[in-house]
Structure 1
Amino acid sequence: MSMNQSNNQIIKKNLLIICRGAGDLATGIIHRLHRAGHRVIALETDYPAAIRRQVSFCEAVYDGSAAVEGVTARLIPALTDAETDAETDTETYSGINDTPAAHIASEKWDSSAIEAVLEAGEVPLLIDPKGESIALLKPDIVVDAIIAKKNLGTTINMAPLVIGVGPGFTAGQDVHLVIESMRGHNLARIITDGMAQPNTGVPGNIAGFTSERVIHAPAAGYIHDVRKIGDIVQKGDEIARIYPDKESYDNALSEYVPVNATITGIIRGLIREGYYFREGFKIADIDPRESELSNCFTISDKARSIAGSVLEAVSAFEHGVKIY
């Protein structure tokens, strides 16, 4: 079945919501919307770099599926060249979805696979960093929760309701609504005019720690995780090693840069084994609250707060209440 043929079947059953991004904050949003009964599709990059991997649906890109608090996201593989050629030969491009972006999307993913995952009560996840599938699937709502601190291509005409999370969006211009993502009094506030607070580069305060609890790569290279998420570490403990090149990493050579814990606590986030990054890249997060191990495996308060505001906006839209 082609994507064009089943598009209407997908969008007529319930509200269809596409979420750009599936990191930990986006996962909180996807999880809340899914639990509220909406049909949600997640879009991700080829190589997501989540730190809080235990609560990030983007891990499905690597593992095929990812489960977070009882909800499963499942990767929809891109069609092979042979499948694409076969579908293109028989496809007639006309009507409502007859756009270049729709053509591209219809040649990349199997709509029947998307529908099957939705029918199974799961969240389909597409590797679609540019959002090419949006023009074809025609969702009722698009949520940009990439948290890139800037707009990576989301426009207000992508759907009847477009929501941007965090800085980089202007309500009324490139999105209809903006959700504040900075911790503090205004966290999760729905902004109907203007922008979220600019990124300060300083992590939120947890138990008196801010910048100290987030670890950035002291060098570029491939990471080998010495410790794992959930481990309790002391300040100065080695938690990972960075190898300068693939050969050094593959052979565990002695030439590496150690990554040490910056504070005592629980490793709440650690970038995926073997990931390559540049110097200064965010690679780990330590929670100083040693008694709260479950925090490593559950959606955060921040993600839930933001998700609640997104759901509020979605519910208003669903009931015809105009809030912008």
Structure 2
Amino acid sequence: MKMEKTLVLIRGAGDLASGVAWRLRRCGFPVVMTELELPLVVRRTVAFAQAVFDGETVVDGIRARRVALAEVASCLAQGIIPVLVDPAGEAVRHLQPRVLVDGIMAKRNLGTRREQAPLVIALGPGFTAGVDCHAVVETNRGHHLGRVFWQGSAEPDTGEPGALPGVGVRATRVLRAPMAGFVKEQRRIGESIRQGEWIATVWDDAGRTAAIHAPFTGVLRGIIHPTVPVTPGMKIGDLDPRAKAEYCYSVSDKSLAIAGGVLEAILSAGRGATAL
């Protein structure tokens, strides 16, 4: 298998999918990513989805650019990750990648099929290896994080975020919208915030507002883009109790573990029956 000729298409460009793209690109694979017109990404400083909003973004030294389908080849030739707005998943048919990775992290399958590419890899719950994909990579924090399954599924969705050191109640690090509307940030990603301080406001066209305050002291690790409409209970931010601002600007340990699983799946498939 020649890595430079093995095109990898990743559906989704949030922080976990971006960690996969980052590692594969550093290993020499050409990588293309797809996203929604208004990505729901929270950890925007480490997500290539930010290119949809800004036109271009850099994560840990790797550059990505929002492009049209016709610009993908020239973008790849420059060593840049192309990001396509492709909510319907049409890019798979046009680009015919050797590897398709579903990194949407919707906790369910939104249309990925095993026959779409010689190797189809899915991240997290909602997929069954051997049925709708060839391999599943575990995304739940714990002993099996990053493990590749060629049969069966990842651990089921718990409905709660993974625990981080310093948070007594697991769900408190995730900031959720108390009402429908849009988020206006009062603090920026990477800023230190004390418990009770004002982080953001959710507002709507009717003039209603609701303030979001820090449940504990930490660093604001992520907050949703202000142009994205939110619904009640939707994840809109992430507060990190470890209080290390530098963690906001580099690919996380969890992302790298998952990326390692994807890399393992590609390399092991390339040596086996799946001709990559």
TM-score scaled by structure 1?
0.81
User: Which whole-Å deviations, capped at 9, do the CAs of 1:200-219 have from their partners, x for residues lacking one?
Assistant: 01111111422111111111
Amino acid at match of 2:122: G
CA distance in 2, matches of 1:274, 1:295: 25
Aligned to 1:64: 55
CA distance in 1, matches of 2:91, 2:17: 18
CA distance in 1, matches of 2:172, 2:217: 10
Aligned to 2:181: 221
Note if contact 2:190-2:245 (Cα within 8 Å) is conserved in structure 1: yes
2:175 match: secondary structure: strand
Aligned to 1:265: 218
Aligned to 2:161: 203
CA distance in 2, matches of 1:299, 1:156: 28
Amino acid at match of 2:93: A
Structure 1: 4+ residue segments shifted above 6 A: none
Distance 1:233 1:13, change over 3 A: closer
CA distance in 1, matches of 2:217, 2:172: 10
Note if contact 1:117-1:124 (Cα within 8 Å) is conserved in structure 2: yes
Aligned to 1:36: 27
Aligned to 2:197: 237
1:277 is matched with which residue: 230, 251, 263? 230
Note if contact 2:38-2:227 (Cα within 8 Å) is conserved in structure 1: no
In the alignment of these two chains, the number of paired residues is: 271
**1:142 lines up with 2:133 in the alignment:** no
Note if contact 2:193-2:214 (Cα within 8 Å) is conserved in structure 1: yes
Amino acid at match of 2:144: N
Shift of residue 52, structure 1, vs aligned partner: 0.3
Shift of residue 316, structure 1, vs aligned partner: 1.7
**1:133 lines up with 2:133 in the alignment:** no
**RMSD between superposed Cα atoms in Å:** 1.6
1:276 match: secondary structure: coil
Counterparts of residues 85-100 of structure 1 (less than 5 Å): none
2:187 match: secondary structure: coil
CA distance in 1, matches of 2:269, 2:171: 38
Note if contact 2:31-2:81 (Cα within 8 Å) is conserved in structure 1: yes
Shift of residue 12, structure 1, vs aligned partner: 11
Amino acid at match of 2:250: T
**1:298 lines up with 2:258 in the alignment:** no
Amino acid at match of 2:204: P
Amino acid at match of 1:188: G
CA distance in 1, matches of 2:191, 2:107: 30
User: Which whole-Å deviations, capped at 9, do the CAs of 1:49-68 have from their partners, x for residues lacking one?
Assistant: 11100000001111111110
User: Which whole-Å deviations, capped at 9, do the CAs of 1:232-280 have from their partners, x for residues lacking one?
Assistant: 11111111111121x74xxxxxx42111111110000111124321111
Bigger radius of gyration among the two: 1
1:316 is matched with which residue: 257, 268, 273? 268
What percent of counterpart residues are identical?
42
User: Which whole-Å deviations, capped at 9, do the CAs of 1:158-213 have from their partners, x for residues lacking one?
Assistant: 00000000001000000000001100011111011111111101111111422111
Note if contact 2:98-2:117 (Cα within 8 Å) is conserved in structure 1: yes
CA distance in 2, matches of 1:315, 1:172: 18
CA distance in 2, matches of 1:309, 1:13: 19
**1:123 lines up with 2:81 in the alignment:** yes
**1:174 lines up with 2:132 in the alignment:** yes
Note if contact 1:224-1:274 (Cα within 8 Å) is conserved in structure 2: no
User: Which whole-Å deviations, capped at 9, do the CAs of 1:131-176 have from their partners, x for residues lacking one?
Assistant: 1111121110100010000001000000000000000100000000
Amino acid at match of 2:50: E
Shift of residue 13, structure 1, vs aligned partner: 6.1
CA distance in 2, matches of 1:283, 1:268: 11
**Which runs of 5 or more residues in structure 2 are unaligned?**
none
Amino acid at match of 2:232: E
